[in-house]
Amino acid sequence: MECTLDWQGPEGMLFVSRTGSGHVLAMDGAPDGGGQNLAPRPMETLLTGAGGCAAYDVVLILKRGRHAITGCQVKLTGQRADTDPKVFTRIHFEFRVTGKNLPPAAVERAVQLSHTKYCSAVAMLEKTAEITHAITLIDA
């Protein structure tokens, strides 16, 4: 896996990353840090990546279990240390999983498997952060 980041010039802190899979991702800083607020912050991007990794696992596990999942939303809340390096110290995942007659135990199992076995982003972040989650099932 690889990516290349390019600083977009001396007027700010915008960086554009080109990923090995051929995609483009922009990141910027807050105005008080020299940025122009043109894109997500790098740490927001990291938090989003963890959410995407976990959501991907949950959807895949439920689909493989032949459960009728039709939606998955994850809201993440992260708290960071007050001093540098300002690592995440707590991350809470709120899963909203939609489907037809989804068994709560199957959804909980999918989240647990993601967090303890499959999601490499969570595995890395749990070295500094307490990881918690909540699940809301929506029958549709």
**What are 117-128's pLDDT values in tens digits?**
999 999 999 999
Q: How far apart (Å, rounded) are the C-alpha atoms in residues 111 and 24?
A: 29
Contact between 68 and 99 under an 8 Å Cβ cutoff? The reply is: yes
pLDDT band at 10 (very low <50, low <70, confident <90, very high): confident
C-alpha atoms less than 13 angstroms from C-alpha of 107 in its C-beta half-sphere: 25
Domain 42-139 belongs to what architecture? 2-Layer Sandwich (3.30)
Write down the domain spans for the chain.
Answer: 3-33, 42-139
pLDDT digits (tens, 9 = 90+) for 18-57: 999 999 999 999 999 999 999 999 999 999 999 999 999 9
Q: How far apart (Å, rounded) are the C-alpha atoms in residues 140 and 138?
A: 6
Q: By C-alpha distance, which of 39, 43, 44 is closest to 28? A: 39
- Please state the rounded mean pLDDT for residues 133-139: 98
Buried/exposed code over 43-54 (b: 16+ C-beta within 10 A; e: otherwise): eeebbebbbebb
